Structure 1
Amino acid sequence: MKKRIISMAMSVVVAISALPLFSSCSGGIGGTNINQELVKNLELDQNDISILVKPFEVINIARNELNSKSNITNEDLQNFSNTIYDAFYGSKDNESDASDISNEKHATDILSEKYSNAAENNEAMRTQYNTYETVVLNGQSSITDYHLGEVDVLMGGVIRYLPIMRYKDAVSFLNFHSELLYGKEMISEEEINKVSENNIRTSYKDNLKITLSKILNSSAKAEKICKLTMKVWHNSIYKEHDTETDAFTMENGSYFYDDFNDALKNLYNDTTYNSDISSIKKEQEDITEIVKLMKDVPEEFSSTYDDLKQLYSAYQTFSGLAVNSSGSYNSYSDSVEKATDEVIKYYNNLKLYLD
């Protein structure tokens, strides 16, 4: 799955700090009385403004519908998140051929174009433009994740993200724009938490299945890295040839390094290796957030959270060994073997709840 460039939640914090917070707009969210400094800086006309405010009208209707539900399912969250992104980017699924030909513009198109124009001879506006483009790319990445998730399901698997986390990303994207246009968030943290608690209770079994899948997939990546680390370590010590490790253990492909630390250093500096490590670190963060969300356990699954915490602890140990190898070769190998067994044991315990 295509990875988000950076966490949407973090990007919005950075983005809002990079763009000026305007207080010139009054009242609530919605309507054409938007930030006048923004209008001036970006040279927005009335047609631009009407396009920019339209998403908030559409989203507010969907928001009220979502909040009225006593049981918020994963599908409800997906639909609401899609409504947010479709409102700002436009939904090609719903556009006619005629609208495609006319190159109909949407809110993100307007802001990207206007920021780009304003940034041509203005350093401050260039910074704001770069910030906005990061937000736009994050949103596009979330849309891609959704469509890839649909493919996962069609192939008989499960989606690789928790819908409540995608909902939070979408709301962060929405709140960024409401801060930009109206100087305030459209959806509060309190509302987000209420939706989250409702959804976790309603769709606990499905969310548990997604959580286990994420932990298992990340553990498989960690296992791959640990095995490669041990192989490089072993072959460097015992000077054994292997097509997978020779690039790390041999100098210029001619002879083995005297010190195995030189071989490990080559591995640690490898681009692919570092990319895999970065991926695992991101997954560690995601899984930590997911496990925190899963604490709202319905009565039917009351005993699962303790088991999930045990699996999470085992996963953290295992993935930590992939990210940071230390000790001697023997102690590291023993730790990897023990951590692998722990992850498998606790994963199998939790699988019983899904059968």
Structure 2
Amino acid sequence: MARSHLTLAALATSAVAELEVSGARSYSLGGAAEFDSALLSARDGQTYIIRVPTSQTAETEQSADLVALRALTTGIRSRLPFDVPTYLGQTPIGGTRAVVYDLLAGHHIEAEEVPPGDGLAGSIGHAIAAIHTLPTNFVGEAGLPSLSAVECHTSTTALIESAASTGLLPSALRDRWRDASADASLWQFQPTVINGALTADSLLVEDETVTAVLGWSALRVGDPARDLHWILAMNPDAAEGALGAYAATRQVATDRQFTQRAMLYAELEVARWLLHGREARDQSIVDDAVEMLDGLVDRVHTNSATPLANATGPIMAIGDVEAMLDRTPGDKNAQSYGHAGGMKPVIDDQSDRSSSSE
């Protein structure tokens, strides 16, 4: 049973010293809740949010997120053109914990709702580029993973083979992904600081500006293309605008290899959904993933210009990618300061994920 907003308000006063709550209401954005959440109005005029995980998966994600938020010091945050949640306090409850954060301004927007042009699309590109230009040393100092290009390649290859081992991966996709994995030119990149779990749900926006980025549980040094794969689901003109702004901010070209890796990661989200269904022993998820894999095969077969490996020809145009990614595996609305349900973005290497908890 979900905890009431009054119970959560009482927990918040235990979690944050001198917090005086003047009002509270339950808070959710729909979907299958993995957190009990409430918005709290305080006598100081501020609004806060309290979240209690309702599953082990959510608790693990929350723990990793707290480690990342503490690593994002005031100095690091000052380099970002958007806000990041601030951890204010916690208190134990029923074998887990309630955590209080400040409430950040903005609202969520679906990827396909991002309009073309330099407005919001450009702000998204600038925001992601700002993450990728952060100094990498603070990640290691916080005990968070730092993956080399070789390690990113290795974990991607392992994912492909895990999906193939299920016997449910169509041979056309297996070969397509293996060809991309075997193309050494795709994997010659400089790792950067990445959010690691970035999706449209991670962003809060106002007007045409990204005001905040949520969900930092996968913060690490890794392949910057991981943070950009979801952009390919935007309107083609919006995707071009976001990638152009990203390239201009980082002063690097979004070259063919970069876009190919991003598209590979986008396709592999379906493989992750399949493996998630198998691990959870949820046949409905497995069936959904198989249906999506079949649809992806159809897309590949109806467009001759879709190879991922350089040796075999050109890649999809962004418009073709947008059509291919007409829905996201397990796509549901965000729940408070996290994801509501469906598949969580999967870390490159689960063994590298910080197991620290506060």
- Is the pair's TM-score, using the shorter chain for normalization, greater than 0.5? no
Q: Which has the larger radius of gyration?
A: 1
> Which range, TM-score by smaller chain?
under 0.3
Kindly indicate which of the two structures has a greater share of residues assigned to strand: 2
Q: TM-score scaled by structure 2?
A: 0.27
Q: TM-score scaled by structure 1?
A: 0.27
Kindly indicate which of the two structures has a greater share of residues assigned to helix: 1
